Every structure is written in C-alpha cells, then in structure tokens.
Amino acid sequence: MDEETRVLVVEDDPEAALFVVHVLANRCRFEVIHTADPVVALRLATDEHWDLLVTDLDMPGMTGLELLGALRQVAPGLPVAVVSAHALDGAPAGLLGDADHYLEKPLRVDQLIAAATALIDRGRPLSEDPRRDNLRAWP
C-alpha cells in the first residue's frame, strides 16, 4: 500500500479518531482524512474517490448504519468497516447492514491494520493487485 490509498475515517470520539488516523497514516502509509460529522463524510464520499471508509456505529445526528445506507446509494463499491464499543457477536444477520467488516473497541493495532489492508485489497480490481487471486473470502 502507499500514500495514494485514501481512507476516510468517521469518528466522533477524539481519542478513537486519533488512534485510527495515526495507525492508518503512520503504520500503513495511507492518506487519511478524518471527520466527526457523518453528513460531511457522505459529501466527501460522493465528491471524491476513497479506497476505504471506517465509521463509528454510534454517532450523534446520523448513526454509522444510516451513513452506510446512504453510502451504498452514492458509492456502492466502497469497502466499509464499522467500529463500535458494543459487542455484536451473535448479532442477528443484517444488523450491520451492508458493512464489509466489524471492529470492536477498544481497537488493536494489528486488527485494524489487517482489516483495513484486506478490505482495500478486496476492493481493488484484479488488474491492480495480482495478489487478489490468492485472497480467500474475508472476513
């Protein structure tokens, strides 16, 4: 991955946002943009190209699932990882909508990096990533 890989982070908790941005920008060398406002995120996702969106589940004004539903209308192929402090193990099918992956807080560096890189790799056309043929269904 390189700095041309763009990640949009939507997180209203300043500490969690700082962690995600730091890991993805410094450890993965992605270009990372953060907003605490899901409405701004929706506008950015509509107007610009992104390789991944990481969103909190619980935010004021618009939940991560509401954002995800709106995103699927304007950027249907954008990989989305949903982050939450609430355990969703055993959650009913469909609870996370069209999310591509779920990460539970507190986030771990290794889990965040693994999820982000796998989702980004999965979203690339075969011609851009020859390793894609070797990827198994993930998560």
pLDDT beyond 60 at 13? yes
Query: pLDDT tens-digit profile of 18-62?
Result: 999 999 999 999 999 999 999 999 999 999 999 999 999 888 889
Note the pTM of the prediction, 2 decimals: 0.82
Domains and CATH numbers, the chain: 6-134 (3.40.50.2300)
State mean pLDDT over 3-7: 87
* Cα 21 from Cα 47, distance rounded (Å): 21
Mean of all residue pLDDT scores within the chain: 82
Query: CA 1 from chain center: how many Å?
Result: 16
Q: Residue 6: which of 58, 103, 75 has the closest Cα? A: 75
Token match 């055993």: residue?
A: 90
Q: How far apart are CA 13 and CA 56, in angstroms?
A: 9
